[in-house]
Amino acid sequence: MSVLVPPAALLGNDLEVPCADGRPRRYVNLDYAASTPVLAAVWEIVEAFVPWYSSVHRGTGAKSQISTAAYERAREVVAGFAGAPDGHVVFVRNTTEAVNLLAAALPPGTRVLSTPVEHHANMLPWRRHDVRVLPFTTSADELLEVAAKALPGTDLLAVTGASNVTGEVWPLRELASLAHAHGARLFVDAAQLAPHRALAMADDGVDHLALSGHKLYAPFGAGALVSREPLAGDPLLHGGGAIKLVTLDDVVWAEPPDRYEAGSPNVIGAVAFAAACEALQAIGMDAVADRERALSARLHSGLAAIDGLTQLALWPVHDDRVGVASFTLRGHTAGALAARLSDEYAIGVRHGCFCAHPLITRLLGVPEHESQRLQRELRAGREPELPGAVRASIGLGSTIEDVDALVGALTEISRRR
């Protein structure tokens, strides 16, 4: 298998870290689903831009004009990366802020339909509206069936593009078709989908989409809400830059996107975000997906051979998954297992509930009475141990050696149980 992006193209991919025995080992990064390393090509562009960084939109100096041009060009790049060349981009900090921004802009009482598998970022903001949640499903076909029945009377269908827990890629084109047939719009949380698959908002019929630069090999905390039609509601943040005129008792809001970007924007973050989008497009997202599928197959088959290890899946039979594998190992809590992988093998993974408590509770088979007990303990100010799993996730810098290192470490740990 060819390596399209060698480890040297990612900053920090050659780091060594100390282990519990005092020996340094090469750090094996298998936590791409949380935050990705920085592409060297992105860092070069940021370094070249920083001397020209200045205020945007209202400055008349040369640096301000250059920064404004770079900032506005970043919108075009992100829209193109999302598969909506004519789309409307609002820059935010991350996917979480993008979802909250859209929820705030929608009319009060908007009828939202969602699912119980969502990241909390695509769950909690909708509770300000009239939100309904579909039941858990065991396949993509079942999801489409239950969605078709529940969509009448819905204004917005809000779903993930790919699960950050189990990796399943969702049937967005079919969901968009169903939503539009019932007069609804489709919002997609693409935080986990965007680094692994080509986005095609216009072709798939996606109306709104959120994504984060920190999952796309860009630093500095920039994300975006991309919409095929401009927003028209109230902004999430109120302040300078978002208005045309303010009096002591009234405000005239600016037109989008300025209305939704109050305060001084993260110009360097937007430049880095756009640079990452261009770098990924230069590699080719289809090539990224092909390479990842091969690594992911090796990862899942290796995990399946480990005694006592259980992989988590929402849809057990599903062909398309991003490079995410969540699992438990008999005899080990998630936190202890993750710590052992780090301390003894220099392998970085994530553990816990991955900001998807209802889904993890379902996948781990936590009974209702235990969930209620945990709620009581937490409300009483105590800190009970929560159920959880370990998640390994791969990306541009991952190699066969990284996958084999994890499988080998888990095999040793299981045998020493």
> Per-residue pLDDT tens for 170-229?
999 999 999 999 999 999 999 999 999 999 999 999 999 999 999 999 999 999 999 999
Closest CA to 216 of 285, 121, 126: 285
Q: 42-283: which CATH number, 3.30.70.100, 3.30.1540.20, 3.40.50.10420, 3.40.640.10?
A: 3.40.640.10
Output the pLDDT for position 230. Answer: 95
Q: Which residues, including other chains, have CB under 8 Å from residue 50's CB and lie 6 or more apart?
A: 268
pLDDT band at 417 (very low <50, low <70, confident <90, very high): low
Query: Residues 310-365: pLDDT tens digits?
Result: 999 999 999 899 999 999 999 999 999 999 999 999 999 999 999 999 999 999 99
For the chain, the structural domain boundaries read: 7-30+284-353+388-415, 42-283
- pTM score of the predicted model: 0.95
Output the pLDDT for position 9. Answer: 87
Least trusted range by pLDDT, from 2-6, 176-180, 228-232: 2-6
Query: Residues 135-176: pLDDT tens digits?
Result: 999 999 999 999 999 999 999 999 999 999 999 999 999 999
Output the pLDDT for position 59. Answer: 86
pLDDT band at 8 (very low <50, low <70, confident <90, very high): very low
Mean pLDDT across the chain, nearest whole number? 95
For the question of residue 277 being annotated catalytic, the response is no
For domain 7-30+284-353+388-415, which architecture applies?
Alpha-Beta Complex (3.90)
Q: Give me the percent of the chain exceeding a pLDDT of 70.
A: 98
